[in-house]
């Protein structure tokens, strides 16, 4: 958003709301947690301030360095934090910004029209949670410097040089007294910075990791903005039209929207929405406006050109989004976010603006590109037919469930506390392992559903095929929460869904097929932490017999060798080729008993990366899969060959 008017940015625009005292005592209130996620948040806060300068039209270059000593440097070529004496506080304004909570140019002083950030909280919170922080400000005449320790100045602001440039450079060392870890994850940070480059076209972000022997640097720059974002997401998919549809619209000086979209041959949708560069994971008014506007525009076009006949029902929202990748980015002067996490946009004006933008701009695009329009409408009509087939299959499924006579659920061993949050469903590979699991379980809260044979790869199938698949239907029925648009996590019968498969290639394949299914059709299961992977042991190391028997269950070769050394001469090793080789007591002790087992929770750190990896591993294209295997073969372990 260009705001390059004669707007001044000085000490009079920095308004102070309150002091800093609580940040070190309750850091989680300000950065979410003191885990690695909170550590990353420190960088996001400082980078967001630089991005805000870019939004205001004053910055086009941001350097982010992970330094060898564990500190981080963020430098931009914006206007530089004001250095004049603050009229209320009587100290340099840069010191106010870095030491007083809720001090910033985002409270109606005129410094910014649009900003993300945490309402001016960012800089002071980072300072409070850093062992040390140094700031350098260039204002076109001089370079100013000040240092801090745990939020308190260790020197007065001083001039250390002359310059004709402007900008801010902040170096901070996170405080080991606060954080559980000081180890930054390069890939997570790269993903976030790449996202910011896509959302702010023309801004060059240079990210450098200096913690390694040979520093690696990547330049993130997207002249095409969110159009390039959509192309990036779709790089391993087959688009049904080469051109990414892009349009933008404004409402006065206080709101604007950009939309980029492209349809692919895939069956799932990927819609990412942002407000002031913040990923609105839970959507909001801008996303609602996009969905309703899209459905109306495509129905109107299909009716106008008789692609939908009079007797045909209208396309539903889910039909119009099948295979769609879209990025919606709104910039709002007074953003209203629902909840502390700022993951849902509440501005009703955003819905109106986005909806009218689609009505005007997308309608015009379809009229001007009839070939693309026809391809899109044919895709949506095909999706509509599949949805109707799925509805009929779903109704048949419900009737059989209501009658409680479904043969498909015949293998499910229910638990007595079904429906409780602590109830667990083990999805077990193979009948023999399923039999052992049924005998070894806690009947009160553990249910067991054996699977046999390979199941459907949903990445290559529509929802109607899912409903008619005899391998997946028992899972849908057992969980009781529906799938796709009908999925309601509140109806879930089990708090934990635990995938239990052999530690071999076939077991890995089954796990991947199940995770693909959950990701595509029951994503809240993963997002809310309901899905787990069981970790059965690979070896049993034992010595002696009967009363003298000593056993160790171990999970890899190193543990095996240590157990052999510990038990000494005469120790024997049993290699478990599959779960079916364990008797019920062994399976209970090693894999099912909450007191002794190891299970891994499946988390969704990055939906875009997850979408891409499922597309690569399970999709139609062979070449991206081959490249992935070639790049990652060196990391493969425990191959069963």
**C-alpha–C-alpha distance, residues 470 and 486, integer Å:** 19
Pairing of the two strands 61-66 and 204-209: parallel
Question: Which of these is catalytic: 185, 360, 506, 620?
Answer: 506
Is 201 buried (19+), middle (13-18) or exposed (0-12) by CB count in 10 A? middle
Told to judge if 504 belongs to the known catalytic residues of this protein, a careful annotator would answer yes
Residues 6+ away with beta carbon under 8 Å from 641: none
Told to judge if 429 belongs to the known catalytic residues of this protein, a careful annotator would answer yes
In the structure encoding, which two tokens stand for residue 203, read together?
Answer: 């801004």
Question: CA 543 → CA 188, 547, 562, distances in Å?
Answer: 46, 11, 14
At 228, give phi and psi (nearest 5°): -70, -30
Q: Are 222 and 232 in contact (CB under 8 A)?
A: no
Q: H or E segment at 584?
A: helix 584-587
**C-alpha–C-alpha distance, residues 285 and 293, integer Å:** 12
3-state secondary structure of 366: helix
In the structure encoding, which two tokens stand for residue 81, read together?
Answer: 């934090």
Q: Are 53 and 194 in contact (CB under 8 A)?
A: no
**C-alpha–C-alpha distance, residues 609 and 233, integer Å:** 9
- Partnered with residue 248 across adjacent β-strands are 258
Question: Which of these is catalytic: 11, 429, 464, 586?
Answer: 429
Question: CA 167 → CA 52, 57, 216, 473, distances in Å?
Answer: 13, 13, 24, 59
Residue 80 CB-half CA count within 13 A: 19
**C-alpha–C-alpha distance, residues 146 and 97, integer Å:** 12
Residues 6+ away with beta carbon under 8 Å from 512: 617, 618
In the structure encoding, which two tokens stand for residue 607, read together?
Answer: 């939906």
**C-alpha–C-alpha distance, residues 166 and 637, integer Å:** 51
Question: CA 394 → CA 400, 464, 531, distances in Å?
Answer: 10, 9, 24
> Left, alpha or beta for 529 (phi > 0: left; psi -120 to 50: alpha)?
left
In the structure encoding, which two tokens stand for residue 190, read together?
Answer: 């790269």
Q: Report the length, in residues, of the chain.
A: 641
**C-alpha–C-alpha distance, residues 31 and 43, integer Å:** 11
Question: Which of these is catalytic: 52, 209, 258, 502?
Answer: 502
**C-alpha–C-alpha distance, residues 451 and 409, integer Å:** 11
**C-alpha–C-alpha distance, residues 157 and 451, integer Å:** 68
**C-alpha–C-alpha distance, residues 250 and 256, integer Å:** 4
Question: Which of these is catalytic: 504, 559, 593, 606?
Answer: 504
Q: Both ends of the chain: CA-CA distance in Å? A: 57
Q: What is the DSSP letter of 616?
A: H
Q: Just list the catalytic residues.
A: 429, 502, 504, 506
């Amino acid at each position: 958003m260009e705001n390059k008017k004669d707007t001044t940015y000085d000490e009079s625009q920095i308004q102070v709301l309150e002091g800093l005292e609580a940040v070190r005592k309750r850091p989680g209130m300000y950065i979410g947690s003191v885990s690695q996620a909170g550590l990353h948040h420190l960088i996001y806060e400082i980078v967001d301030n630089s991005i805000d300068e870019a939004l205001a039209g004053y910055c086009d270059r941001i350097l982010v360095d992970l330094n060898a000593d564990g500190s981080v440097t963020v430098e931009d070529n914006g206007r530089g934090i004001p250095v004049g004496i603050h009229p209320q506080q009587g100290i340099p304004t840069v010191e106010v910004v870095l030491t007083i909570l809720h001090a910033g140019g985002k409270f109606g002083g005129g410094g910014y029209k649009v900003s993300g950030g945490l309402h001016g909280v960012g800089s002071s919170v980072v300072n409070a949670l850093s062992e040390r922080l140094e700031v350098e400000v260039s204002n076109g005449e001089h370079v100013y410097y000040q240092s801090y320790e745990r939020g308190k100045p260790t020197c007065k602001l001083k001039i250390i040089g002359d310059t004709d440039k402007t900008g801010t450079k902040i170096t901070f060392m996170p405080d080991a007294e606060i954080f559980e870890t000081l180890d930054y994850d390069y890939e997570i940070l790269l993903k976030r910075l790449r996202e910011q480059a896509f959302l702010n076209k023309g801004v060059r972000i240079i990210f450098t990791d200096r913690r390694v022997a040979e520093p690696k640097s990547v330049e993130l720059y997207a002249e095409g903005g969110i159009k390039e974002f959509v192309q990036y997401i779709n790089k391993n998919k087959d688009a049904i039209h080469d051109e990414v549809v892009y349009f933008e619209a404004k409402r006065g000086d206080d709101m604007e929207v950009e939309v980029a979209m492209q349809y692919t041959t895939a069956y799932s949708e990927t819609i990412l929405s942002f407000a002031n560069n913040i990923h609105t994971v839970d959507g909001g008014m801008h996303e609602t406006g996009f969905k309703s506007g899209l459905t109306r525009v495509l129905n109107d076009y299909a009716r106008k050109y008789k692609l939908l006949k009079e007797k045909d029902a209208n396309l539903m929202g889910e039909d119009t989004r099948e295979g769609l990748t879209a990025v919606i980015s709104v910039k709002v002067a007074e953003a209203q976010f629902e909840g502390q996490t700022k993951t849902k946009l509440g501005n009703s004006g955003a819905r109106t603006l986005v909806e009218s933008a689609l009505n005007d701009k997308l309608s015009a695009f379809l009229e001007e590109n009839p070939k693309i329009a026809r391809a899109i409408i044919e895709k949506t009509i095909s999706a509509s037919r599949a949805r109707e087939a799925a509805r009929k299959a779903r109704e048949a499924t419900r009737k059989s469930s209501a009658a409680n006579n479904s043969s498909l659920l015949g293998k499910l061993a229910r638990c007595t506390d079904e429906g409780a949050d602590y109830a667990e469903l083990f999805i077990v590979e193979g009948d023999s392992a399923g039999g052992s699991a049924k005998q070894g379980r806690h009947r009160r809260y553990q249910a067991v559903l054996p699977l046999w044979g390979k199941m459907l790869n949903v990445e290559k199938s529509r929802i109607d095929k899912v409903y008619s698949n005899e391998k997946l239907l028992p899972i849908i029925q057992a969980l009781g929460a529906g799938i796709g648009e009908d999925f309601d996590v509140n109806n879930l019968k089990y708090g934990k869904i635990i995938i239990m498969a052999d530690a071999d290639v076939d077991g890995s394949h089954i796990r991947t097929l199940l995770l693909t299914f959950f990701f595509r059709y029951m994503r809240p299961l993963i997002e809310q932490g309901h899905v787990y992977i069981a970790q059965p042991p690979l070896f049993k190391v034992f010595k002696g017999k009967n009363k003298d028997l000593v056993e160790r269950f171990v999970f890899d070769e190193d543990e095996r060798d240590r157990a052999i050394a510990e038990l000494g001469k005469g120790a024997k090793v049993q290699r478990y080729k599959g779960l079916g080789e364990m008797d019920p007591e062994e399976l209970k002790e090693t894999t099912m008993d909450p007191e002794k087992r190891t299970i891994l929770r499946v988390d969704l750190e990055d939906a875009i990366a997850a979408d891409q990896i499922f597309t690569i591993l399970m999709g139609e294209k062979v070449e991206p899969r081959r490249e992935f295997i070639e790049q990652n073969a060196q990391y493969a372990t425990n191959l069963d060959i």
